[in-house]
Amino acid sequence: MTLKLVPGRPAVKEGRLEKEIKVYDLLDSLNIEYERVDHQPATTMEDCLAIDQVLAPAVICKNLFLCNTQKNKFYLLMIQENKKFKTKDISHQINSARLSFAPTEYMEDFLDITPGSVSVMGLMNDLDHQVQLLVDEDVLNAEYIGCHPCINTSSLKLRVKDVFDIFLKAVDHDYIVVHLENE
């Protein structure tokens, strides 16, 4: 199957999950332009590489759903794919107890997403503000980012400034900038 980047939402809703359509509805209502590529769930590095090439020059982020030891503070960490998550580095920067990967049920409850589909777009579902967004500073220096629309069978290419200046304000979330070293 040839991957193709197309502007905007899919023409047909059939076969799409409601949470995916809600992402397109919100982006459209905010007048945020985006491009989309539909694909099979990316299960191998080769799959991811092919999708990344279609979205280029977008920064493809690793999106990690984390929590503190007590499981009472939750974080979504966006880092460039060439960076490595080191819990002590992040914990120190945000003055938090040691971080680890959060249990899946919290991801589903707070963001309405499942493993493999973690995305900044999930913050639109975090109405009770349970999740704090953490962003590696290098992500903010890019012009475009790539992310899933709450499902891993499509990927979006969005302007960084639209995500951080328009989308996050619309979903009433802020972010903390962190610094991570390259691998």
| End-to-end Cα distance, the chain | 32
CATH of the domain at 39: 3.90.960.10
Q: What is the pLDDT of residues 130-173, one digit of tens each?
A: 999 999 999 999 999 999 999 999 999 999 999 999 999 999 99
Residue at 43 is within a domain: yes
C-beta of residue 136 within 8 angstroms of C-beta of residue 101: no
Nearest to 131 by CA among 107, 151, 113, 150: 107
Q: Tell me, yes or no, whether 69 lies in a domain.
A: yes
Q: What element of type H or E holds 140?
A: helix 137-140
| Cα(8)–Cα(162) distance, integer angstroms | 14
Q: For 4-45, write each residue's pLDDT tens digit.
A: 999 999 999 999 999 999 999 999 999 999 999 999 887 665
Which residue range(s) make up the domain with 81? Answer: 6-178
Q: How many domains does the chain have?
A: 1
Say what the pTM is. Answer: 0.93
